[in-house]
A and B are shown apart, each in its own frame.
Chain A
Amino acid sequence: MSAIRNFSIIAHIDHGKSTLADRLIQWTGMVGERQFRDQLLDTMDIERERGITIKSNTITLPYNADDGVEYELNLIDTPGHVDFSYEVSRALASCEGVLLLVDASQGVEAQTVANLYLAMEHDLTIIPVINKIDLPQADVEGTKAQIEQELGLDPDQAILCSAKEGLGVDEVLEAIVRHIPPPKGSLEQPLSALIFDAHYDTFRGAIISCRVFDGEVKPGDQIRFMSNNAPYKVEEVGIFRLQREPRKKLTAGMVGYIIAGIKTVSDTRIGDTITLEERPAAQPLPGFKEVKPVVFASIYPVSADDYLALADALEKYKLNDAALIYQKDSSAALGQGFRCGFLGLLHLEIVTERLEREFGQSIITTVPGVQYRFTLADGQIITVDNPMHYPDPTRIKGSEEPYIRASILIPERYLGAVLKMCLERRGVNSRINYPTPGRVEVTFEIPLAEVIIDFYDRLKTITQGYGSFDYELLDYRPSDLVKLDILVNGEKLDALSMIVFRTRARDWGVRVCERLKDEIPRQQFKIAIQGAIGGQVISRSTINAFRKDVTAKCYGGDITRKRKLLEKQKAGKKKMKMVGAVEIPQSAFVAVLKTENE
């Protein structure tokens, strides 16, 4: 056990986490130069493209340290986004230490701070690593100052490195061995292992990633999940190299995998404790939480014929993503689809993007919303995450919506713009800290609903890309909520209905009406687009009928071009959704979500 080190790398997006991980893998000889592909651990296309990790990967690296001992370094990769902060916390709970990576050209950002707090909560040893020191704009001294002032860490301990150039990688490896303590635990105690991730394998079912704290587990053991007492028989255990490598057993202190005939990852719960059936642990490991979705949206197939294909794709997708929940939904405008719950906006984007790319689905995603709480006249409290289930307003006695604490780190010059945005979006109790000269940390409480639509894009715009954002869920607070309906020539476009704060309803109504006006092609008759609360119209726009649509010239050179246009229009018409007699293109549903300056 003394030759094991369990650690994670934590960093703000783009600070080079995956690059450093790749270098560590390469330095320890796990992979030859030729096989090397950037960002080895990020196996999904999306991950590589966006430079973020979605599913965490784990790898055991053999390392011959300067002290002559051969160590097993378990690098537990963590998802790099606030949507997945619970997953991050479970991964960190499996470690004894972290490398806190800071980009020398960017400095400390909101996520760096948030990650540091997470690591501190778990009493982890923190090794600051200043990355990208090779960049011309790198400011090593400034970054050291920030590490000291904003993070309260000893800047002299910081390792200077350029993962890209391979500088300082040896120092990082030695620091892991020297500074991070070996795992504690007892082989004699009953098995207690923490599930921090699970992957789906077509042939084996769920592959559980876990950290063994006490005891040992081997094939043939009868195990039990302590959250729900589900029993399984262990088929295989092992450690992660670039592929899985079976072992006779996993013992206290080790990080590895368990295969136990578990059908899908949804049957596993991240943060759950695995113990032995015949000799269970006295109590589960602390920190287990049921992950609950916070952002909801419906997904419809573009063509109604593809409903079954979409159902199939979701089912397959779900095998590997326990966090996604979904159920059937149907809309008069869009036909049959699914109401889905996501961990956050990024999660929503990832799911929809993967459904389109990897599963070949053409989908329409509706305006995302949150879960609201209504107290009815009879005292009953209901939660509503789908505007279609908005209760009869005359029966509503009270309504509540979820709040978050948002924390934004920005250069001081953007403070005014950020505070203005925070106010516009109903932010309250704002607090301003000056961690270092020139930089400001703004924290405020704000309804979750206000940040799920174009908040992040807007923040990036007003801070010219310098703002970083992090949040945590707080509680439900009373709110004045109404349902905004969108009507096209008097017919309700139910997929665009949303529950909104009353005084924000008009803004939304105007925005949606204007967007639709730009997206819905003119037709033979006048089209009225209205936003309405109950029977009261609060916004409107009109699309005039076209009364002329003909090109003046059509000679030899024009014929092919015009036919191609017609073919394109014909294909586009197939994708139109009919609402009453009005043809509405798929793009209209997407357009209402776009930020103003797009």
Chain B
Amino acid sequence: MSDSIRKNSFRFFSLTTDHWPLTTFPGLYVHIPFCLSKCAYCDFFSVTDLAWIADWLAALEKEASLYQDRFGSFDTLYLGGGTPSLLDAAQISALIAGLRRHFSFAADTEVTLEANPDDLTPEKLQLYQDLGVNRLSVGVQSFHDRELVFLGRRHTARQTLQALEAARAAGFVNLSLDLIYGLPGQSLEDYRKTLEQALAFQPEHLSCYQLTYEAGTPLSRRKARGEVAAATEEAEREFFLFTSRFLEERSYLHYEISNFARLGEPDNKSNSQVINNTKSLYRKPETANRKPYFYSRHNRKYWSHIPYLGLGPGAHSFQDGERWWNVRDVKTYCRALAQGWLPVADQEVLAPEQLRLEALYLGVRTSEGAPLELLRQYPGWEKTLTKLQKSGLMEVKRERAVPTLEGFLLADRLALWLTAGEAAEEARAHASRP
């Protein structure tokens, strides 16, 4: 990345911390919609009929070709799913080669691949290294086999341990682990063990998700039938607060509701190794005395209205205030592209007010918060913010309204309160009229 671009990025985005440079390059997401089996809780789009992979790969390259000149260089590539790690060597190589044919990537592109522990053999890990994958996001979920069975995962805790060791051994210096908490009957002690096991690998990044009963999933149906009892709100709070405190005490930054980034230890050796191998790496320290956090560069684009292109069935894209998304069906997706059509299901052009609203609600889900400048658009915001400060839900730092940990717990309300404050006041004024 050239210095001039980096300066630009500083000019356009005010930052709460110097460790948080936000790049303005667009990001590329590829949805690999295949799984060996569906997990009980998951509502991401995927199918278990692997016979479609060949058609899907061809369609994907076609889709890439149609977008060839619409975005500039990407500085993130995120291979998500589904289960990207179930693709075999030939398939994943073809996929990445196809993308390289149609798009250009910045030198330090963050290349993330989502993997299930049971797929991560030493051979596969070496292949990923060779292909330039420099960030592995591993679907660990739990280190208790009982919980893994409940979630419908195919792997065991033991397999996870082996996979993570192998990943480190293969040279992955940027590991992100996905965990799920708040399972029915799960104790804080059970969960602490999972967290401790995870931390044994000193992952650079952790995503800790509270178990959500998404509509249409087997798990939500079981809940509706009364077969599983969801954790109480109090328990959810406890898990959430525990996660945050536990990880922050161990040098992780709670930078988004469910995401934690470790302070980076400069390791020039491994970095340069990555550079040599792949011409890409995770963010280098800006200066000698500043260390970066291993945040997910790609995911932060979603939260900051930075353009992204999503390829594959169900993937979403955003550019110039416009958002569009693909059909959630492999067959339709392949058919459309075979005809040379974009498989877009729908699109929306965001009005300035909608962009503001998104920026605000996405902002208050992060430790960066939302700039006061944004809030000023909403009459009554000052009064509401003062109230939120008094009740310990928000703080004002460097001209930004930043949620506290308690504020994170009510993040979905913060935006509503801040933007609809006027309406509530209005209603009150009306009601008190004679």
Residues on A facing B (Cβ under 8 Å): 303-305, 330, 332-336, 524, 546-557, 559-560, 562-563, 566-567, 569-570, 573-574, 576-579, 583
Contact = CB atoms under 8 A, between A and B. Distances in A.
Contacts of B416: 566, 569-570, 573
A65 to B, nearest CB: 65
B210 A577 contact: no
B433 A304 contact: yes
B316 A570 contact: no
Nearest to B236: A548
Interface in B192-236: 209-210, 212, 233-234, 236
Contact of A548 (B310, B361, B410, B427): B410
Q: What 10 A-B pairs have minimum CB-CB distances, sorted nearest first?
A: A304-B430, A556-B316, A578-B428, A550-B411, A574-B423, A573-B420, A552-B209, A578-B427, A570-B420, A552-B210
15 contacts: A304-B430, A330-B434, A334-B431, A524-B410, A547-B234, A550-B411, A551-B257, A552-B257, A556-B318, A559-B302, A567-B357, A573-B416, A573-B420, A576-B427, A583-B427
Contacts of A567: 354, 357
Interface in B238-265: 240, 257-258
Given A333-B431, A578-B428, A555 B412 contact: no
Contact of A547 (B233, B423, B430): B233
**For chain B, what secondary structure do more than half of its interface residues adopt (helix, strand, loop), or is it mixed?**
helix
B103 interface: no
Interface residues on B, range: 35 or more
A579 B233 CA distance: 26
Contacts of A583: 424, 427
B80 to A, nearest CB: 8
B71 interface: no
A548 B233 contact: yes
Nearest to A305: B430
**For chain A, what secondary structure do more than half of its interface residues adopt (helix, strand, loop), or is it mixed?**
mixed
Contacts, number: 121
Interface string B372-414: 0000000000000000000100000000000000001111110
A555 B302 contact: yes
Given A547-B409, A555-B299, A577-B431, 12 more contacts: A303-B430, A304-B430, A548-B410, A549-B411, A549-B412, A552-B209, A552-B212, A554-B257, A566-B415, A570-B423, A576-B423, A576-B424
Given A547-B234, A548-B237, A552-B212, A335 B433 contact: yes
Contacts of B210: 552
A557 to B, nearest CB: 5
Contact of B240 (A334, A548, A559, A577): A548
Contacts of A334: 431
Contacts of A553: 209, 212, 258
B348 interface: yes
A578 B314 CA distance: 41
Given A552-B258, A566-B361, A547 B316 contact: no
Contact of B316 (A330, A549, A557): A557
Given A548-B233, A555-B302, A574-B420, A332 B258 contact: no
A574 B421 CA distance: 10
B5 to A, nearest CB: 23
